[in-house]
Amino acid sequence: MTTFGAVVRHGRGWLPLIGLAALLDSAVTLALPTVLGRSVDAIASGNDSERWLGLAAGLILLGVVCALVDVLASTTCVAGTTAWLRHRLVRRVLEGGPEGVRRFDTGDLVSRVSGSASDAAQAGPATVTAVAAVIPPVGSLVLLALIDPWLAAAFLAGVLLVIAVLWVFARRTTEISLAYQETQGRIAALLTEALAGIRTIAAAGTAGQEERRVLGLLPELHRQGLLTWHVLARSGAQAAIVGPLVLVAVLAIGGLQLVDGRITAGELFAAAQYAVIGAGLGSLTGLLGELARARAGIRRSAEVLAVNPVAYGILSLPPGPGRLVYDDVSVVVDGVPLLDHVDLNLPGGATVAVVGPSGAGKSVLAALAGRLRDPDSGLVLLDGVPLQAVRRSVLRRAVGCAFERPVLVGRTVSESISGGRIAPVEVLAAARATHAHDYASRLPQGYHTPLPEAPMSGGEAQRLGLARAWHTGRLLVLDDATSSLDTATERQISRTLTEDRHRRTRLIVTHRASTAARADLVVWLDRGRVRAVGPHQRLWQDPSYREIFG
């Protein structure tokens, strides 16, 4: 469980230093006005001035050192904690598997790693700094009262006035910036729409026309933008009067005390300084905001870290042909059975096609074979060993999956096939077998083209996805993985698959009759149940089987 305390504890090496620096800095801030005031008094009276001057210089030096330590130590602490949290988050997401992270959007997860983690890492330094930051404003108020209680009263009255002005400003700004943001959003929506048709626009030479359409709202944005500055103008003017008022109030009250000889000139000066420091009370809300952000960041991180990693077993697979058995397997989601007591015994080395109308449970069946999800009841066994009991490295070498929409990972095209697991020679072999080689070799830098710079169609992505799974040992699961290929390429790949020299078991989810026809065995699924198992030619006699293929 990741808590506020846990995150704070991670930076514990640095926190005492940060805390000490912050405390000393606060002490300096509080002491300085008095010391400066005394220095002036000493200079005026000609007594002891060197001692006070030395003290003032020492304090200032100490303050500068504290500020330096704070900047360096806080950043080092936060950077370290952020990286630590990010590594943990990334690892947990990847180990959680598709089922574990299903409830998070990709964008949401990214924002948790990039944003929330760095917010969360502020927890330690922010806590320490917040405690130390309370000292100067509160302390200065106390000191103000110690010099003279009336000074404190004058100060508080002034501060209330400032708060009132800020509050009115914040409220009016919110209203106006809301309208501004809405207009901005509408312009962005128009642009998004146009960008979706950018090829049409480029070909038709209508960029100018589109520009006018998208920018139609710009004058409105301009008007609303002007309004925000007008609000700022009014409150800026108010602040220009109200700000000095606090100080003048303190100076006036203090001046009258000076006339009466109750305080010295130095103390009057110190009082004015304390009034300014005391006004820093407002900036404390900023620190509280930072703490709240840190807490929210930790909560959002903890939600990800609470995902359970996929649990792998410790067994190896015995030698075998790749026999795949579904033993009374059911998968239920929200009370709806996706697979309903499925029993299948698929011979090793066979090509098995899985067909059925959409929603029949084909992909779930494939995901179970690839251990991308686990059955709610029953077992899936490969050569007699339940998949859940197999060690991760063994399982992933033995079973490979290719998908309808593969998502490729890696710095380069080559890495997207190898995934850091196989040698370049094998990458080339896999690419040739799946016809990804034609695509890859046409790229600007061939296999070394950075993945983001390699534009690809659905069919080309599918070929790379197939290549990635090509070196699987025992069982190849293809979930509609050739649907975007043109017919010729699809047939060539199918032939390579059928003539597979390694005699791996192939489980192929498909919509094409030709693929089913070439398979050794067809599993016909319907609403989560196995309707029939047999060769395509035999099933073809059933009119409702033929209906599946339209």
Residues numbered 350-379 forming contacts with another protein, rule: CB under 8 A: 370, 372
Q: Are 59 and 32 in contact (CB under 8 A)?
A: yes
The answer to whether 308 contacts another protein (rule: CB under 8 A) is no
Residue 372 Cβ vs another protein, minimum distance, rounded to whole Å: 6
In Å, how far from its chain's centre is CA 373?
24
Give the sheet arrangement for strand 475-479, strand by strand.
399-403, 475-479, 505-509, 351-355, 521-526, 529-534
Is residue 95 exposed (0-12), middle (13-18) or buried (19+ Cβ within 10 Å)? middle
The answer to whether 319 contacts another protein (rule: CB under 8 A) is no
Residues numbered 75-94 forming contacts with another protein, rule: CB under 8 A: 75-76, 78-80, 82-83, 86-87, 90-91, 93-94
Residues numbered 405-444 forming contacts with another protein, rule: CB under 8 A: 406-411, 419-421, 438-439, 441-444
Please state, in angstroms and rounded to a whole number, the distance separating the CA atoms of residues 380 and 368: 7
Please state, in angstroms and rounded to a whole number, the distance separating the CA atoms of residues 306 and 103: 12
If the CB atoms of residues 82 and 127 are measured against another protein, the closer one turns out to be 82
The answer to whether 400 contacts another protein (rule: CB under 8 A) is yes
Residue 134 Cβ vs another protein, minimum distance, rounded to whole Å: 21
Identify the residue among 178, 215, 311, 333 touching another protein (CB under 8 A).
215
Query: Pick from 278, 256, 285: which is nearest to 33 by CA?
Result: 278
The answer to whether 166 contacts another protein (rule: CB under 8 A) is no
In Å, how far from its chain's centre is CA 347?
44
The answer to whether 543 contacts another protein (rule: CB under 8 A) is no
The answer to whether 465 contacts another protein (rule: CB under 8 A) is yes
Residue 182 Cβ vs another protein, minimum distance, rounded to whole Å: 12
Structure tokens at 91: 């690892």
If the CB atoms of residues 251 and 345 are measured against another protein, the closer one turns out to be 251
Residue 384 Cβ vs another protein, minimum distance, rounded to whole Å: 21
Identify the residue among 9, 234, 262, 495 touching another protein (CB under 8 A).
234
Q: How many CA atoms lie within 13 A of 95 on its CB side?
A: 15
**Piece in contact with another protein (CB under 8 A), picked from 221-229, 285-293, 321-329, 335-343:** 221-229
Residue 1 Cβ vs another protein, minimum distance, rounded to whole Å: 21
Using the structure block, give the residue that is written with the tokens 């015994």: 345
The answer to whether 51 contacts another protein (rule: CB under 8 A) is no
Residues numbered 12-31 forming contacts with another protein, rule: CB under 8 A: none
Q: Are 375 and 329 in contact (CB under 8 A)?
A: yes
- Tell me the per-residue interface mask from 118 to 157 with another protein, x by CB under 8 A, - otherwise: ----------------------------------------
Q: What is the DSSP string of 469-483?
A: HTT-SSEEEEESTTT
Please state, in angstroms and rounded to a whole number, the distance separating the CA atoms of residues 43 and 23: 30
Helix (H) or strand (E) holding 329: strand 324-333
Question: How many CB atoms are closer than 10 A to CB 102?
Answer: 11
Q: Are 331 and 339 in contact (CB under 8 A)?
A: yes
Strands (E), 334-479: 336-346, 351-355, 377-382, 385-386, 399-403, 475-479
The answer to whether 47 contacts another protein (rule: CB under 8 A) is no
The answer to whether 43 contacts another protein (rule: CB under 8 A) is yes
Question: How many CB atoms are closer than 10 A to CB 265?
Answer: 14
Identify the residue among 237, 292, 311, 423 touching another protein (CB under 8 A).
237
If the CB atoms of residues 411 and 502 are measured against another protein, the closer one turns out to be 411
The answer to whether 381 contacts another protein (rule: CB under 8 A) is no
The answer to whether 48 contacts another protein (rule: CB under 8 A) is no
C-alpha angle 36/38/39, rounded to 5°? 60
Residue 246 Cβ vs another protein, minimum distance, rounded to whole Å: 11
Please state, in angstroms and rounded to a whole number, the distance separating the CA atoms of residues 261 and 278: 25
Residues numbered 493-522 forming contacts with another protein, rule: CB under 8 A: 513-514, 517
Residues numbered 249-268 forming contacts with another protein, rule: CB under 8 A: 251-252, 255-256, 258-259, 265, 268
Please state, in angstroms and rounded to a whole number, the distance separating the CA atoms of residues 221 and 498: 62
The answer to whether 192 contacts another protein (rule: CB under 8 A) is yes
Binding-site size for another protein (CB under 8 A) equals 153
Residue 346 Cβ vs another protein, minimum distance, rounded to whole Å: 19
Query: Pick from 289, 288, 298, 308: which is nearest to 112 by CA?
Result: 298
Q: Are 543 and 376 in contact (CB under 8 A)?
A: no
Residue 73 Cβ vs another protein, minimum distance, rounded to whole Å: 9
Identify the residue among 26, 34, 273, 414 touching another protein (CB under 8 A).
273
Residues numbered 56-75 forming contacts with another protein, rule: CB under 8 A: 56-57, 60, 63-64, 67-68, 71-72, 74-75
